[in-house]
Every structure is written in C-alpha cells, then in structure tokens.
Amino acid sequence: MRINPDRLRSLRKKQNLSIAKLAEKTGVVNPPGITEKTIQRLERQSSPNQTAREHTVECLAKALDVEAGVLTGELPLPDVEDLFTDDSGHVRINAQIGPKTRLAYDLIREQYDVTATNLISIAPLFFALLASGSLAWRKEKLKGVKEAIKCLKGDGDNEWNMFAGITLPQENMAKMEGKSISEEDIFGKGLFAYFRELMILVRDGGPALVMTASHMVGDGQLAEQMPSQDEIDEIEDFLLSDEWREEFLRSASPFAQYLKMLARENADVVSVGDGDLWSRFPNYDVYPKVLNEVANNSPVARMALEFGHARLSEIPDALRLRAENDAGEEREKWLKEKFWGGLHDLYGQAANNSLVAQIALEFGHARLSEIPDVLWAEDAGEEREKWLKEKLPPDKLQELMEDPRCDVLDKVEREKWVYENWWKDWEKARKKG
C-alpha cells in the first residue's frame, strides 16, 4: 500500500499534531506504534514505488481517526471538524462526495465563512425550497401552454380550423405534464411512462399524432402525407424500444432545467450544465470566476483542484489569492505540480507500479477508459500491466531494452532506464516542434 505524503502531512497538521505526538498516539491506539523516523520518511517520500506495510497504514489511520483509504487517496479527505464526535446528539453521516463537490464546499466556506457541517445541516431546507420552486415554475409554464392550445383550437364554433387536429398531441403532453406536477415528480421520471402511453396510440391516433411521432424519430420534418403502414409499424417499434427509452432519459430533467434558469440570473456565482433523467442532478461549478483566478486561468491548474490533487486550504499562505499579492504564476506552477504528481500516482497504480506500463498512459498510447473492465479486478494487476505494455510501440521499446547500458540493470532499474529515456526522447521531439 502507498500512503499519500501530502494527505498524511495535511491531516497531522490540521489536528495540531507534531510528528512526535503522532508517533506517540500510534503507540496508544495500536502498540507498539510507529516511530518518528518512519512518519518522517512517509511524509517526504516522492517515488510511486515506495510502499508502506498494511499495519503501518492501519495504525496511522486509527491515530488520525480516518479510514485507511483516506491516507492512500482512495477516499476523499474529511473535514477536521467531522473527525470527532461528541455527546451532543450529533451523528456522522455515511456519505461520499467527489472532489469537485468538495471543492464547491471549500469555495463557499472561504466566501461566506461557513463550515461543511453548516452547509450539510441547511441542505434539506435548500432542497425543499428548490423542489417546490421548480414545481411552481413548471405550473406557470404549463399554464402558458394550455392558453396557447386554447388559442389554436379557436372559440369552439363550427368554422374550419387548420390547427384543430394538430393540437391533439400537445393536449396529451400537457395532461402528462400536469399529472407529473401533481405527483411532485420533480425529476420528470414519470414523463417517460406517460410519453410511452401516448405513443402507443400511434396505431389509431390519427394523422396528426402519426406525423408528430414521425417528426420525433425522423429528420425533423413533418411528413407531407400519411406514412405507410410499414412506416407506422417501424415508428411504433422504436417508440416502445429500450433504445428510445435511453434516448428519452438522456434529455434534461425538469429540475435541471429549473436550476439552469436560476443560474442564468446568477452567472457570477454558479454555472449549471445539463442533467439527464438518469443522474437527476446537473453538473455545476460554484464561483467559476474565483476558481479561474485561483488557477491563474490555467486549465491544468484548475483541474488540480477539481480532481482533488490539491485543496484550497493546502495552498501555501505566500501563494494565496490576495488583492495586494500577485502570486498568480507561482500559484499556477504549484497547482500544476500537484496535478501532474497526482496523475503520475494514479497512472502508477493503474500500471501495477510498472514504469514501462505507466509510459503507455502518460504518453497517450492508452487511456484508463480503454482498459477492459475485467483487468480492473483486484488480482488482475499483472494482466493489466501486460495489456498496457502491449500498447507501446514495440520497435522503440525493444531499442531501449537492448541498449548495452541497460543490460547490467535489474528489472526495477531497467524499467527506470526505459522510463527516463522515453521522457528524454519525448522532450527532444517536443523541442524540435
């Protein structure tokens, strides 16, 4: 197992523990404990191949009152205030969030001087207000749709109206939306079932409904004449298929649309993306302008924060964002180092700590998303390593492995040789343009 040195150091300092005090505490929770020298080594290690015994990781985790996965980087860092419990009736909630959500908490905390516990405590109120607000917003929209349908249908006299038949699908859809709102279906999950029921009526729903269905699955143009029976059967089969179900569920949920509407009125505070009916909630960014300032407008530096390789609280005081201290370039450099270091560690774990296999990921010969699922099994490290090595250009790999200067090296040193020389060749090629 490998302990993340930055996390170990950060957790120790946030609990106001010196190395000596932490070593003493490990001896209490899990005798005989860990020596100061070992903790010092773990906090300054930089090589991805340096590992710690499972006993060491578990012992430090107990002393710092966190899960072992927090030290290895597999779990997110908790807030210091959440590391302890008392007798006041408070409970620890069992939930995990992604690094980008944690970054949103950090940004709000710095902006308004509130804690993560404050935000978690008030979250149910915020959600209840947003949920009821989204339903009221949909009711208002539906009211406008019904008025438009009424206008198209006319005043009910017997005069010919070219729009009378075309309003049939809109009326049915309005009914479905009304039912969804009355059931407080804020994410619109029930709309799929209602749409499906409507589309079943394609068999005998009349020309307007058939043409509407054709429009939905065709090229966006209403047919000039009634489709043939074969075409109707094809439309019906598609509308009742899992393929259409998945396509429908990829559309934005009503709740996400409501949040996007609110975000447009507060663009400096938050930006909201599309949220489909699968995930329910949209992607979002809190204080995007502030985040760009922290990252000095560098996408890589920003990713260091969004991917959890660094936290706002970990940025050195001398590099923090201050009006009187323009340390943007130094802060950007610090964040970039954190990003590439974190990515290097991630690639090392994926490559089974093989530097040669790691080359395949770091130089774009393979991607993490391309690795077959079966190779992510706990006991499939060597097979995953082999798969990655096979993605490397064989001629170049053979050339480096057969270099006379590499012949006398053992396996670990040989891989280090290949890794370092691959970097050198890449740098030469990059400088040549």
- Residue 217: what pLDDT? 41
Query: Same structural domain for residues 37 and 145?
Result: no
> Could you give the dihedral angle defined by the CA atoms of residues 301, 302, 304 and 307, in that order, rounded to the nearest 10 degrees?
-160
- The last residue of one of the domains, among 66, 91, 116, is 91
Task: Give the mean pLDDT of 16-27.
Answer: 86
Task: Give the mean pLDDT of 44-60.
Answer: 70
Query: Same structural domain for residues 18 and 113?
Result: no
Query: Same structural domain for residues 15 and 151?
Result: no
- Residue 139: what pLDDT? 94
pLDDT at residue 137 greater than cutoff 90:
yes
- Residue 141: what pLDDT? 92
Task: Give the mean pLDDT of 54-79.
Answer: 80
Best CA proximity match to 17, nearest among 89, 83, 106: 83
Structure confidence at residue 247 as a pLDDT band (50, 70, 90): low
Structure confidence at residue 222 as a pLDDT band (50, 70, 90): very low
427/422 Cα distance (integer angstroms): 9
Query: Same structural domain for residues 256 and 127?
Result: yes
Domain assignment of residue 264, yes or no: yes
Task: Give the mean pLDDT of 9-31.
Answer: 83
Query: Same structural domain for residues 262 and 115?
Result: yes
Query: Same structural domain for residues 158 and 264?
Result: yes
- Residue 129: what pLDDT? 96
Q: 255 lies in which domain range?
A: 97-286
What domain count does the chain have? 3
pLDDT at residue 82 greater than cutoff 80:
no
Phi, psi of 279 (to 5 degrees): -85, -15
Domain assignment of residue 274, yes or no: yes
pLDDT at residue 32 greater than cutoff 80:
no
Sequence-distant (6+) residues with CB within 8 A of 4 are 71, 72, 73, 345
Task: Give the mean pLDDT of 225-250.
Answer: 62
Give the relative orientation of helices 299-306 and 328-350 as an angle to the nearest 10 degrees.
60
Sequence-distant (6+) residues with CB within 8 A of 272 are 256, 259, 260, 262, 263, 282, 283, 284
Query: Same structural domain for residues 111 and 70?
Result: no
Exposure class string for 65-89: b at 16+ Cβ within 10 A, else e: bbebebbbbeeebbbbebeeeeeee
- Residue 130: what pLDDT? 95
59/70 Cα distance (integer angstroms): 13
| 3-class DSSP assignment, residue 107 | helix
Query: Same structural domain for residues 364 and 399?
Result: yes
Query: Same structural domain for residues 259 and 391?
Result: no
Query: Same structural domain for residues 102 and 77?
Result: no
Domain assignment of residue 71, yes or no: yes
Contact present, 339 and 307 (Cβ < 8 Å)? yes
84/123 Cα distance (integer angstroms): 21
Query: Same structural domain for residues 134 and 48?
Result: no
pLDDT at residue 118 greater than cutoff 50:
yes
- The last residue of one of the domains, among 44, 69, 91, is 91
